[in-house]
């Protein structure tokens, strides 16, 4: 692909993505008073994360069995109140361990 | 720099690690499709989004006529990334007084799903030092991963990349579970969102809906249900996601 064509595509792609992110965060400055909208926005992050995690996590490692091992490890660690980095590392380690185990079987 | 900045950098580390593996795959796909290493890297450095970039790459290499290709690019990015508008609105309510217009315009570039999630789970109003720190590792991870993937798709052994693939999800789980344990309302919202997202993944026909749309639909239905069934009192909403 020529650089000219590429750069036109890149400009549209990056421009649209940036505007969608920037406008609501920058233009809308008022504090929201409506209890419904406040509550709605309060719950949005959890809804987004839950929807992105399940079922996506099961396809994140290329093998549903190792992903399940990582998922279970992460849930246990998070349930015990460990921080983001710890939970993420333990989940990776559990996947690696499960991969090793599957090689032995 | 200062404490808040370093706290942000620390919180961004798991995001950066997770991005490394995801963007690695993206970089590989770029060069597989005939882009140069530089072109792959530039996409990641200017977009910082996973689903949108993947769809954008497909439009770029689709050999469509330029004019219709550019329109398709704009529409695709708009639909897939519309969820960021919702997140921006939500996060906007949590920004502290130091977040003036130029700082908002600067930070909003990096308001990805993961950065949004971590930022909005902080109990206090957000300071620009914290948010700037939070941007660092994800940006490095995303760019570096793309570069490595484009330069040498086989540089990391597969068992390492697949193990890293779960890092982002581990982080999501660490954000959702503690408040869901404390508050029935959060647990309910999460379960509703999961039920809908599972339907979209596995029910034939529904599974054709793009990932960005699924997230919007799940978020709107589950968060509306939460807001109707468990309205949040003022102080709790202001305390943010962790209240």
CA distance B68 to A22: 26
Q: What angle, rounded to 10 degrees, do the helices at B167-182 and A64-79 form?
A: 40
Residue whose structure tokens are 């649209």? A16
For residue A19, tell me if it sits in a domain: no
For residue A74, tell me if it sits in a domain: yes
For A100, the domain range is 31-104
Q: Using CB atoms within 10 Å of the CB of residue B101, give its burial: 0 to 12 exposed, 13 to 18 middle, 19+ buried.
A: exposed
| CB atoms inside a 10 Å sphere around CB B155 | 12
Reported as a pLDDT band with limits 50, 70 and 90, residue B19 is: confident
pLDDT at B230: 95
Closest CA to B173 of A1, A8, A58, A22: A58
Q: Which residues contact residue B173 at a Cβ distance below 8 angstroms, ignoring those fewer than 6 apart? A: A53, A57, A71, A74, A75, A78, A87, A91
Q: For a pLDDT cut of 70, what percent of chain B falls above it?
A: 92
Reported as a pLDDT band with limits 50, 70 and 90, residue B24 is: confident
Q: Which of B170, B202, B237 to mutate to probe the A interface, most A CBs <10 Å? A: B170
Inter-chain residue contact A55 with B111, CB threshold 8 Å? no
Whole-number mean pLDDT of chain A?
90
pLDDT at B1: 62
pLDDT at B240: 43
The ipTM estimated for the assembled molecules is: 0.85
For residue A87, tell me if it sits in a domain: yes
Q: For a pLDDT cut of 70, what percent of chain A falls above it?
A: 100
CA distance A13 to A8: 9
Whether A80 contacts chain B with CB within 8 A: no
Between positions 127 and 156 of B, the ones with CB within 8 A of A are none
Q: For a pLDDT cut of 90, what percent of chain A falls above it?
A: 57
Q: Looking at the predicted structure, is the pLDDT value of residue B243 above 50?
A: no
Whether A47 contacts chain B with CB within 8 A: yes
CA distance B20 to B155: 13
Q: For a pLDDT cut of 90, what percent of chain B falls above it?
A: 47
pLDDT at A42: 83
pTM (global) more than 0.80: no
pLDDT at B104: 95
Q: Could you say which of A22, A66, A78 has the minimum Cβ distance to residue B177?
A: A78
pLDDT at B159: 76
Residue whose structure tokens are 């990015």? B77
Whether B206 contacts chain A with CB within 8 A: no
pLDDT at B210: 67
Domain-wise residue ranges, chain B: 3-175, 183-233
Nearest chain A residue to B214 by CA distance is: A51
Q: Is the peptide bond before A55 cis (omega within 30 degrees of 0)?
A: yes
Q: Which residues of chain A does B181 touch, with a Cβ-Cβ cutoff of 8 Å?
A: 79
Per-residue pLDDT reduced to its tens digit, A47-84:
888 988 898 889 888 899 999 999 999 999 999 999 77
Reported as a pLDDT band with limits 50, 70 and 90, residue B119 is: very high
Per-residue pLDDT reduced to its tens digit, B153-206:
656 677 777 777 787 788 789 889 999 999 999 999 999 999 999 999 899 888
Inter-chain residue contact B121 with A37, CB threshold 8 Å? no
Whether B164 contacts chain A with CB within 8 A: yes
Task: Name all contacts of B67-73 with Cβ < 8 Å and 24+ positions apart.
Answer: B69/A9, B70/A8, B70/A9, B70/A12, B73/A9, B73/A12, B73/A13, B73/A16
Whether A64 contacts chain B with CB within 8 A: no
Q: Which residues of chain B does A80 touch, with a Cβ-Cβ cutoff of 8 Å?
A: none
Residue whose structure tokens are 């508050």? B183
Mean pLDDT highest for which of B90-94, B206-210, B237-241?
A: B90-94
Mean pLDDT highest for which of A64-78, B110-124, B225-239?
A: A64-78
For residue A82, tell me if it sits in a domain: yes
For residue A37, tell me if it sits in a domain: yes
Q: Cβ(B21)–Cβ(B165) under 8 Å?
A: yes
Q: Looking at the predicted structure, is the pLDDT value of residue B141 above 80?
A: yes
pLDDT at B211: 63
Number of domains in chain A: 1
For residue A48, tell me if it sits in a domain: yes
Q: Looking at the predicted structure, is the pLDDT value of residue B79 above 60?
A: yes
For residue A9, tell me if it sits in a domain: no
């Amino acid at each position: 692909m020529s650089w000219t064509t590429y750069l036109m595509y890149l400009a549209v792609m990056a421009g649209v993505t940036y505007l969608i992110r920037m406008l609501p965060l920058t233009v809308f400055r008022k504090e929201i008073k409506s209890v419904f909208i406040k509550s709605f926005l309060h719950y949005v992050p959890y809804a987004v994360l839950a929807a992105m995690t399940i079922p996506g996590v099961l396809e994140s490692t290329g093998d549903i069995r190792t992903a399940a091992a990582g998922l279970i490890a992460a849930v246990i660690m998070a349930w015990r109140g460990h921080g983001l980095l710890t939970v993420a590392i333990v989940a990776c380690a559990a996947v690696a361990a499960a991969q090793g185990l599957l090689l032995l079987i | 720099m200062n404490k808040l900045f370093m706290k942000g950098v620390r919180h961004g580390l798991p995001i950066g690690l997770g991005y490394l593996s995801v963007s690695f795959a993206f970089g590989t796909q770029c060069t597989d499709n005939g882009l140069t290493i530089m072109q792959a890297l530039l996409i990641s450095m200017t977009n910082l989004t996973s689903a949108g970039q993947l769809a954008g790459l497909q439009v770029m290499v689709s050999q469509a006529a330029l004019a219709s290709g550019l329109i398709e690019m704009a529409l695709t990015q708009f639909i897939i990334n519309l969820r960021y508008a919702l997140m921006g609105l939500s996060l906007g309510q949590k920004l502290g007084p130091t977040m003036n217009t130029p700082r908002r315009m600067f930070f909003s570039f990096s308001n990805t799903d993961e950065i949004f999630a971590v930022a909005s789970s902080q109990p206090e109003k957000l300071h620009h030092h914290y948010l700037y720190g939070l941007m660092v590792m994800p940006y490095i991870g995303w760019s570096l991963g793309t570069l490595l993937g484009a330069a040498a798709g086989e540089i990391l052994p597969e068992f390492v990349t697949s193990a890293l693939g779960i890092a982002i999800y581990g982080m999501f789980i660490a954000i959702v579970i503690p408040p869901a344990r404390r508050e029935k309302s959060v647990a309910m919202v999460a379960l509703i969102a999961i039920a809908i997202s599972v339907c979209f993944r596995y029910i034939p026909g529904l599974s054709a809906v793009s990932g960005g749309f699924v997230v919007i639909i799940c978020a709107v239905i589950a968060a509306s249900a939460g807001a109707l069934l468990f309205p949040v009192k003022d102080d709790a909403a202001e305390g943010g996601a962790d209240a």
